[in-house]
Structure 1
Amino acid sequence: MLVLSRKTDEALIIGEGEIRIVILGVQGDQVKLGIEAPRAVSVMREELFRAQKENALAAHSVSPDDLSDLKAPAPVPPSPSPKPKSP
């Protein structure tokens, strides 16, 4: 892992300059980053990336037998009884 120190408004360049990360600010233990990257490059927080991977893995682990109940039509609830008319 490369470890660098940067100040506010300083940047890092990744690759041939197509990805640029700018330090926008530091407050306490939080760093605000600005990321410039081509639209084809996915940029997301690590915890979202991991959750997305776990969800994809879980979806692929479902067998067709697990989904067989979904083929049956949903039960139709009974119609409500008409209310008696008041005199």
Structure 2
Amino acid sequence: MLVVTRKKDESVLIGDDIEIIVVKIDDGSVKIAIKAPREIQILRKELYKEITEENKKSVSVDSSVLKKLK
């Protein structure tokens, strides 16, 4: 893990085409902007976890249906 210190309006580059910019720092909260190509999916981690869990539930239901069909 890389930990960096950034001030308002400073940024971090990831590769050649992703830039994370600190837009606002306020009372323990940081607002960031992300510049990236449209084809790169950007999700909040909690949303990613929720989607992953839903996908696991769907897969387990589908496999149980398939077992019943055999």
Category of TM-score, reference length = shorter chain: 0.7 to 0.9
Deviation, structure 1 residue 64: 1.5
How do 1:32-71 and structure 2 match up within 5 A?
A: 32-62=31-61, 63-64=64-65
Structure with bigger RCO (C-alpha 8 Å, 6+ apart): 2
Which has the larger strand fraction? 2
Q: Deviations over 1:44-72 (max 9, x none)?
A: 1100001000000110000226xxxxxxx
Paired residue for 2:4? 4
Q: In the aligned structure 2, how far is the partner of 1:21 from the partner of 1:29?
A: 18
**Superposition RMSD on alpha carbons, in Å?**
1.7
Could you tell me which runs of 5 or more consecutive residues in structure 2 were left unpaired when the two chains were aligned.
none
Q: What's the TM-score once normalised by structure 2's chain length?
A: 0.87
Q: In the aligned structure 2, how far is the partner of 1:44 from the partner of 1:30?
A: 18
Q: What's the TM-score once normalised by structure 1's chain length?
A: 0.70
Which has the larger helix fraction? 2
